[in-house]
């Protein structure tokens, strides 16, 4: 089956969790975009919800779909965030940030009672790390930040190259927050919680793409149907 169809099916399954009056975090990426479009169809039919987008791209998509938006300055908590992921392991830990929106995605997910991850089944892995781990950094002092990151990788039992994510016209990719992204080609992350802790305390690191203990439900769409994994 076409991958886009699988993503749309996962999005449709997550939509079944949405009720009128809910406050929703709206993720970023091609799978989350399916969710926003399906949600927009329900809104046009009269469903009343309000959303907080996790990127300027998602803001534009949601506005185009007629979804009412707000911010975390206006409201306190969200009921559910629905977002995609680059990798999901069996502990429901994630790598996110392939679309460059990890900082806002993590802030929005952390302000939510539930995080539902939607993906096609190819995103499920035994061990995180095949997908390069995005790390959002401040441009100032990049050399020092790179060295501290390499020390953290060693301490967490992994190793790999750091590549500055390219943007347009030979310049670095710039996030919605005005930062850069280093993609860490680690291959395998044996202890994601440990690495997440080590990365979080490095000056110059704004945020990293390891989402540990945040997802409450993962909806995986495959050729044989939909599988839902709940946090124990």
Ligand X SMILES: O=C(CO)[C@H](O)[C@H](O)COP(=O)(O)O
Pick 54 or 145: Cβ nearer ligand X: 54
| CB burial string 185-211: b at 16+ within 10 A, e below | ebeebeebebbbebbeebebbbbbbbb
Does 96 bind ligand X (CB under 6 A)? Our answer is yes
- Site map for ligand X, 178-217, x if CB under 6 A? ----------------------------------------
Helical segments of the chain, H only: 3-15, 30-44, 56-64, 102-110, 142-155, 192-200
Count interface residues toward ligand X (CB under 6 A): 18
Q: Please identify which residue in 40, 97, 129, 204 interacts with ligand X, judged by CB under 6 A.
A: 97
Q: What count of residues does the chain have?
A: 232
For residue 78, the tally of other CB atoms under 10 A from its CB is 24
For residues 138 and 155, what is the distance between their CA atoms, to the nearest angstrom? 22
Does 99 bind ligand X (CB under 6 A)? Our answer is yes
Annotated ligand binding at 30? The verdict is yes
Catalytic residue chosen out of the listed positions 105, 136, 207, 230: 105
Active-site residue flag, 105: yes
- Best CA proximity match to 140, nearest among 207, 198, 206: 206
For residues 122 and 139, what is the distance between their CA atoms, to the nearest angstrom? 33
Annotated ligand binding at 66? The verdict is no
Pick 128 or 148: Cβ nearer ligand X: 128
For residues 157 and 188, what is the distance between their CA atoms, to the nearest angstrom? 9
Does 30 bind ligand X (CB under 6 A)? Our answer is yes
- Best CA proximity match to 4, nearest among 28, 26, 27, 35: 35
Does 101 bind ligand X (CB under 6 A)? Our answer is yes
CB of 144 to ligand X, least distance (A): 25
CB of 84 to ligand X, least distance (A): 3
Residue with tokens 């044996």: 190
Does 59 bind ligand X (CB under 6 A)? Our answer is no
Does 145 bind ligand X (CB under 6 A)? Our answer is no
Pick 79 or 176: Cβ nearer ligand X: 176
For residues 137 and 174, what is the distance between their CA atoms, to the nearest angstrom? 10
Annotated ligand binding at 99? The verdict is yes
Annotated ligand binding at 200? The verdict is no
Does 100 bind ligand X (CB under 6 A)? Our answer is yes
Annotated ligand binding at 228? The verdict is no
Residues with active-site annotation: 105
Residues that bind ligand X (CB under 6 A): 27-32, 83-86, 96-102, 105
Binding-site residue numbers are: 28-31, 83-86, 96-99, 123
């Amino acid at each position: 089956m076409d991958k886009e169809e699988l993503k749309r099916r996962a999005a449709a399954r997550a939509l079944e969790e949405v009720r009128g009056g809910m406050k929703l975090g709206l993720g970023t990426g091609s799978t989350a975009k399916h969710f926003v479009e399906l949600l927009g169809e329900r809104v046009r039919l009269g469903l009343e919800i309000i959303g907080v987008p996790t990127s300027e791209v998602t803001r534009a998509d949601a506005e185009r779909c007629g979804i009412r938006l707000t911010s975390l300055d206006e409201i306190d908590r969200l009921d559910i965030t629905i977002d995609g992921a680059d990798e999901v392991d069996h502990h429901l830990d994630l790598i996110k940030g392939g679309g460059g929106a990890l900082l806002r995605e993590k802030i929005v997910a952390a302000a939510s009672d539930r995080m539902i991850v939607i993906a096609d089944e190819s995103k499920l892995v035994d061990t995180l790390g095949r997908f390069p781990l995005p790390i959002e950094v401040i441009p100032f002092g990049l050399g020092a930040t790179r060295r501290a990151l390499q020390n953290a990788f060693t301490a967490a039992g992994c190793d790999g190259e750091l590549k500055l994510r390219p943007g347009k016209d030979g310049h670095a990719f710039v996030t919605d927050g005005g930062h850069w992204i280093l993609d860490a080609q680690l291959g395998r992350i044996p202890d994601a919680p440990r690495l997440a802790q080590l990365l979080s305390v490095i000056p110059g690191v704004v945020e990293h793409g390891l989402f540990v203990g945040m997802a409450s439900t993962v909806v995986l769409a495959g050729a044989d149907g939909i599988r839902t994994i709940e946090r124990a």
